[in-house]
Structure 1
Amino acid sequence: MVIDELDSRLLVTMRAHPRIGLTELARLLGVARGTVQARVEKLTARGVIADFGPTVTPEGVGYPILAFVSLQIAQGRLAEAVQALRALPEILEVYGTSGQSDLLCRVVARSTPDLQEIIARVLASPAVQRTDTTVALSVQIPFRIEPLLHVAAERDGGRDLS
């Protein structure tokens, strides 16, 4: 899956102006509205654009503590562990990993005592053997995709691939 220079510009502009309409987007990009609409539909169908909803911050809804919790899972009990994790709303994401741990969880909490309770609930599952927790103290580079979009478009020489 590749994106071209127009796709890159389209995505960067949409991220900079999340509430922008197709007509204004077309004006800013200097292309026809139909072209913008077709590109947005294509990018959505390909899974490049994942959603159009608002980005909700955990801090904004009362969860200022962010931690990354690595889990070691009992042999053959991965599905059971994932099912137990799915039941905890404070666990935002879970990734299967290689190395020392089997799963890496992005966890939010209201306070450090709340985080300790969440970890205790994780450990209550017989499928989880051990946890290792790292608390994030600050965000040094927030989630970003724009630099990657520019590189992805350059990789293909800026050709229009539609």
Structure 2
Amino acid sequence: MPLNAQQTLDTTDHDIIAELQRDGRTSIAQLARVVNLSASATAERVRRLTDGGVITGYSITVDAEALGYTVTAFVRLAYPSGNYRPFHDLVADMPEVIEAHHVTGADCFIIKVLARSMRDLERITGRLATLGGITTNVVYSSPVPARHITPAE
């Protein structure tokens, strides 16, 4: 099945997805107990969800401050050209860029960056500004952190 193709998911699939988002390290045996299936049936469903592109990978969540990043900011970039190759090349070499979204409106990209300090943020935004006009918004706090994805109704 092609990636991102619409699959018909049942409530057991939804439960598997929810549990794996809660704890991606859970074993198939534990997952099977949670969703009331055999381990082999659960493993087959996880394989089907993965092969179908619903589950795209597994990762951990880390505290950015614990890794030395005390500043989070969103940078809006008004990119003056339709040739996005320089943008892709620049951000590929910037580990501080943790998200980038091509958007509609006056800006072409919204970029989420992590910085060690305000001076570091100035360095990062300076590099991004070589591509076009930028507007930077520093995050005070995040009252709604990243959420798990639930099925669309």
Equivalent in the alignment of 1:70: 76
Show CA shifts across 1:102-160 (max 9, x none): 1111100011111011111222x3xx2200111111111111125x23xx3xx3xxxxx
- Structure 2 counterpart of 1:131, one-letter code: I
Q: Which residue of 2 aligns with 1:120?
A: 126
Q: Tell me the equivalent position of 1:143.
A: 146
Match for 1:104: what amino acid? I
**Where does 1:8-157 land on structure 2 (aligned, <5 Å)?**
8-123=14-129, 125=130, 128-146=131-149, 148-149=150-151, 152=152, 155=153
Q: Distance in 1 between matches of 2:11 and 2:23?
A: 18
Distance in structure 2 (CA, Å) of the matches to 1:134 and 1:84? 20
Identity across matched positions, percent: 28
Distance 1:144 1:78 in 2: 29
> When the two structures are superposed, what TM-score results if normalisation uses the length of structure 1?
0.82
Three-state SS of the structure 2 residue aligned to 1:142 is coil
Deviation of 1:75 after TM superposition, in Å, equals: 2.3
Spell out, residue by residue over 1:10-59, the C-alpha distance to the aligned partner (whole angstroms, 9 max, x if none): 11122223321111111121111111101111111122212223223322
Considering only aligned residues, what root-mean-square deviation do their CA atoms show, in Å? 1.6
Q: How many residues align?
A: 147
Higher relative contact order (CA 8 A, sep 6+): 1
2:61 and 2:49 map into 1 onto residues whose CA distance is: 19
Alpha-carbon deviations, 1:72-97, whole Å to 9, x = none?
11223322122122211111121111
Report the AA paired with residue 143 of structure 1: A
